[in-house]
Amino acid sequence: MNARTQNDITGMTRAGSTVRKAFLAMRRAARPGMTTAELDDIGARMLAMHGARSAPRLYYDFPGATCISVNEEAAHGIPGERVLTSGDLVNIDVSAELDGFVADMGESFVLDPDERHEARLRICRSVQAAVRAALAQVRSGRSLNVIGKAVQKVADTAGYRIVENLGSHGVGRSIHEEPSYVPLDNPREKRKLKKGMVLTIEPFFCTSASWVEEQADGWTLSVPEGALVAQYEHTLIVTDGAPLVVTA
């Protein structure tokens, strides 16, 4: 999507705010002993309260309002009877449609952490730092690869691999639009950021793998057992200056 008018910007901002409210309600409610289905229900009710529809359900008939992935699960985890425990590395990814506009965000965090979980906390901090570094480079007219370069620098410095078969994407009128790209340094990337472009920045960092595999449920994407994986995602609108992050 290209946000050409104030109506577009307002619509994306409202959609982004609603997605963030749902995410925050889930994040604050998450606790050991809760099932992922119970956590998903909180997000579903928050979206409904604001008149929004779950984008994974709307566009892909996903069996949940949100995606909740735990530990080796990187993305598209199906909410269900899994019980959360202290120290779990949890990812909540919320995307929703509101009045014709779609926004998307996600974040990995450690549930009820203590000093034993420093490695899990560190990978979460690192992937968040990568997104912040990328956002600082986004300007109309620059190469799309400024995002990948910024993310790659943080990953390399911190000692993580970037998952290469989970990408960032355009968004706005649907959940997945062009440009589709993997946020890593790609010298062959020739596309340009354009004013009004609506897209996500969504890197996945992993301790030992660069690839995720689909599980038997047909949805969940996981790294090998024992690896740590974390994601952080925002939806933004490109401007001539600092991007407008609608999910912040």
CATH value at residue 92: 3.90.230.10
Q: Is residue 1 part of a domain?
A: no
The neighbour count for residue 159, using CB atoms within 10 Å, is 11
Q: Is residue 218 part of a domain?
A: yes
Pairing of strands 213-214, 221-222: antiparallel
C-alpha dist (Å) from residue 101 to 41, 121, 174, 203: 22, 33, 7, 23
Q: Is residue 230 part of a domain?
A: yes
Give pLDDT tens digits for 153-198.
999 999 999 999 999 999 999 999 999 999 999 999 999 999 999 9
Q: Is residue 14 part of a domain?
A: yes
Q: What pTM, to 2 d.p., does this model score? A: 0.97
What is the per-residue pLDDT for 29? 98
Q: Is residue 86 part of a domain?
A: yes
Residue 1's pLDDT band (cuts 50, 70, 90): very high
The letter for the amino acid at 69 is S
Domain count, the chain: 1
Burial class (CB in 10 A: 0-12, 13-18, 19+), 211: middle
Give the pair of three-digit tokens for residue 150.
């910024």
Q: Domain residues for 68?
A: 6-245
Pairing of strands 177-181, 53-54: unpaired
Q: Is residue 91 part of a domain?
A: yes
H helices, E strands: number in the chain: 5, 14
What is the per-residue pLDDT for 222? 98
